[in-house]
Amino acid sequence: MPELHHILGSIFRDIAQSVFTSDMYSRDISRYYEQDPLLRHFPVPRTEVDELEVQLKFAIANIDLNPVQSVSRESSAATVFVDFSYDLSEHFFEALDDSLENVENVARDTWRKVNSFEQRIYLRQDLLKFFLSEQGRLIDAQGEFQVAAARGEISGLLTRRVKWLLQDTPLTASALKKITDAALKALKLDAQLNALVEPLRFAWEQGGDFTLDVEITADKLQGLDPGHLATVLVRTRMRNYLWSEVEHEGRRWWTLNPE
């Protein structure tokens, strides 16, 4: 039984195919126009589809959870990770700033880096990249967030960040570790990661993609009450693209650009 996205995709495909067939015909007759001394002064006819409206009537035959596709579930989890990455970045730099209060000989450039808006953005991006790339490992099939795995990776990421931020300071390895440990302790990473468990479980349970099987043939629809039919109205506009040659730093390639 076909799914709705298969039907709509086939319609869009056939629209594009119809324009292609028309262009092929225009190409063939353009040769006659070129060779004929009179037709050469006339424009070659070409059909352009500016806008097309299709109304599709169908009956919903079945709706079922699709265990293979999980785009909406992962999108919901990503929203949780985005908010967490922002908050963790802010709290980390606040904790690091507090840990440096009693440290002597901290250069002005180091303070500037620790308190800069840009460094907060960089850390936020690193955290988000970690969560999104490791999502399949951090959330199991039941939607349970693996706090221990996340803790180890994030602790290492933050430790490397402190080492990079303080690389120009005359700190010994033990002093650097002391500052890092103090910042991580003040950050209360375990508590923050544990706070992710319920939101991620909720996102996993509420998310998920569904298959929508439909009936569209006349013999299937003719006996149904009109009130049981669903309708989707699709307005589509054709947009033409042209091949253009691009050159940059001695390299050349062709690219498609809208007219």
Tokens, residue 128: 């988000």
pTM beyond 0.85: the answer is no
Range of the domain at 156: 71-206
What confidence score (pLDDT) does residue 153 get?
92
Q: Are residues 238 and 195 in the same domain?
A: no
250: left (phi over 0), alpha (psi -120 to 50) or beta: left
Q: Are residues 37 and 75 in the same domain?
A: no
Is 102 part of any domain? yes
Chain center to CA of 107: 40
In the chain, the number of structural domains is 2
Q: Are residues 47 and 173 in the same domain?
A: no
Tokens, residue 70: 């999980």
Q: Are residues 149 and 181 in the same domain?
A: yes
Is 220 part of any domain? no
What confidence score (pLDDT) does residue 60 get?
84
* One-letter amino acid of 31: R
Is 217 part of any domain? no
Residue 155, Cβ density class (10 Å: 0-12 exposed, 13-18 middle, ≥19 buried) = middle
pLDDT tens, residue by residue, 86-138:
999 999 988 888 888 777 666 677 777 777 888 888 899 999 999 988 888 88
What is the rounded end-to-end Cα distance, in angstroms, of the chain?
39
Which residues lie below 8 Å from residue 122, measured CB to CB, with a gap of 6+? Answer: none
pLDDT tens, residue by residue, 145-189:
999 999 999 999 999 988 888 887 777 888 888 888 888 889 899
Is 49 part of any domain? yes
Q: Are residues 91 and 164 in the same domain?
A: yes
